[in-house]
């Protein structure tokens, strides 16, 4: 019986650590829209540290967007929060919304 309880506790701990790691991987980054290029599907964002991407310093960077419709929802000067991932073709914004 004690063995089953220990096994259940270990499983619960493993699942919670895995969920935490997944949540950290999609951490939101705060930034400001500097330029939008709908013809190439790219956006230039000035942002703070992006630890989920291994960027410790604030910077301004050009990103591809996963869905070109995201570019129609923002304009230059808007404050945004976004999530991005690194791919072979460069960094890609996967989610973006205006900051509140």
CATH number of the domain where residue 60 is located: 2.40.50.320
What pLDDT was estimated at residue 9? 57
With respect to residue 12, please indicate whether it lies within any of the assigned structural domains. no
With respect to residue 19, please indicate whether it lies within any of the assigned structural domains. no
Q: How far apart are CA 60 and CA 80, in angstroms?
A: 13
Task: Kindly indicate the confidence band of residue 13, based on its pLDDT and cuts at 50, 70 and 90.
Answer: low
Q: How far apart are CA 61 and CA 14, in angstroms?
A: 36
Number of structural domains, the chain? 1
Relative to beta strand 59-65, strand 90-98 is: parallel
What pLDDT was estimated at residue 25? 47
pLDDT digits (tens, 9 = 90+) for 28-40: 999 999 999 999 9
**Do 72 and 33 contact (CB within 8 A), yes or no?**
no
pTM of the shown model:
0.72
């Amino acid at each position: 019986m004690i063995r089953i309880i220990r096994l259940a506790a270990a499983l619960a701990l493993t699942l919670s650590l895995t969920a935490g790691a997944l949540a950290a991987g999609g951490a939101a980054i705060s930034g400001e829209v500097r330029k939008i290029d709908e013809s190439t599907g790219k956006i230039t964002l000035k942002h703070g540290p992006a630890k989920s991407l291994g960027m410790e310093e604030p910077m301004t960077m050009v990103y591809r967007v996963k869905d070109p419709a995201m570019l129609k929802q923002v304009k230059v000067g808007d404050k945004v929060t976004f999530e991005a991932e690194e791919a072979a073709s460069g960094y890609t914004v996967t989610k973006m919304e205006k900051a509140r």
